[in-house]
Amino acid sequence: MRLAMGVEYDGSSYHGWQLQKSGVRSVQQQIEQALGKVAAHPVRVFCAGRTDTGVHGEGQVIHFDTPAVRSLRGWVLGTNVNLPDDVNINWVHEVSDEFHARFSATSRSYRYVILNRPTRSAIWRDRAVWIHHVLDEVRMQQAAESLVGTHDFSSYRAIGCQAKSPVRTVTNLIVNRINDRVVIEITANAFLHHMVRNIAGVLMTIGRGDQPVEWSREVLDHRDRTLGGVTAPPQGLYLVDVDYPAEFGLPSASKV
């Protein structure tokens, strides 16, 4: 039997999603240990998107195979009992063997949160990046518009990114201000390593007035990461939703 699960986590105290040979604390490690106790056998999980150290997940999706028979409620409650407080299973759904958390996904959505005020925050210190310079969200939105569509995002990916192609399709990129927070929402068919954080870094530079609005397009056209600006810190980044074909019947994070 193949099961899909919706996962939520605060990534502040984890060395990213992925299980690591060094044994450092990862979200995958915690979930596999908890599921193994419920299933009574070792479990290997596959995720929709591997997040970096300090990055959070509101709408992460995983799948795993098991011969164990448990109720769906039993899987959720049993797994959560064995997880630390900063990781949680929101839902579980039986899926066909054709489903894959990563390869079946049609799009992914991320949110980047910037606390934009003169003083730092005790509450948001690990959940947003603090920028004390005033940001102009209107300029940031104007700059974001040139990144929507299908492009070669070589300038916006990590130098060590191992993706075979740098071409991605961004379907939505919106910048809004909510009181003292500037929020970047982005949806694409898939993302390159550090792509969202590099986009956020460019938009923040433009928002501070250090570069013109046109710079986001100029960076894109360079197709050279060394000319792509600063990578924004990880703590403001959230994986918020993953979409799949309707045939799998999975809930979106926004509907849970």
**For the chain, domain boundaries:** 2-104, 107-239
Q: What is the CATH number of domain 107-239?
A: 3.30.70.660
Catalytic residue of the set 10, 52, 126, 224 = 52
Are the CB atoms for 170 and 157 separated by under 8 Å?
no
Mean pLDDT of the chain: 95
Amino acid identity of 248? F
Strand pairing partners for 238? 56, 111
**Could you tell me how far CA 150 lies from the centroid of its own chain?**
20
User: pTM for the whole thing?
Assistant: 0.95
What pLDDT does residue 228 have? Answer: 86
Domain 2-104 and domain 107-239, same fold? Reply is: yes
* Residue 52 annotated in active site: yes
Cβ count within 10 A of residue 178: 9
What pLDDT does residue 114 have? Answer: 98
By CB neighbour count within 10 A (0-12 exposed, 13-18 middle, 19+ buried), where does 27 fall?
buried
Helix axes 27-39, 72-81, angle to 10 degrees: 120
Residues of each annotated binding site: 110
CATH topology of domain 2-104: Alpha-Beta Plaits (3.30.70)
Residues sharing a CB contact under 8 Å with residue 22, sequence separation 6 or more, in sequence order = none
Residues sharing a CB contact under 8 Å with residue 202, sequence separation 6 or more, in sequence order = 143, 156, 211, 215, 216, 219, 228, 229
Is the dihedral angle over the CA atoms 250, 51, 31, 1 positive or is it negative? Answer: positive
Residues sharing a CB contact under 8 Å with residue 3, sequence separation 6 or more, in sequence order = 63, 64, 65, 66, 75, 92, 93, 94, 95
What pLDDT does residue 20 have? Answer: 84
Cβ count within 10 A of residue 41: 11
Low-confidence stretches of the chain (pLDDT beneath 70): 253-256
Task: Give the rounded percent of residues in the chain with a pLDDT score beyond 70.
Answer: 98
What pLDDT does residue 254 have? Answer: 53
Residues of each annotated binding site for substrate: 110
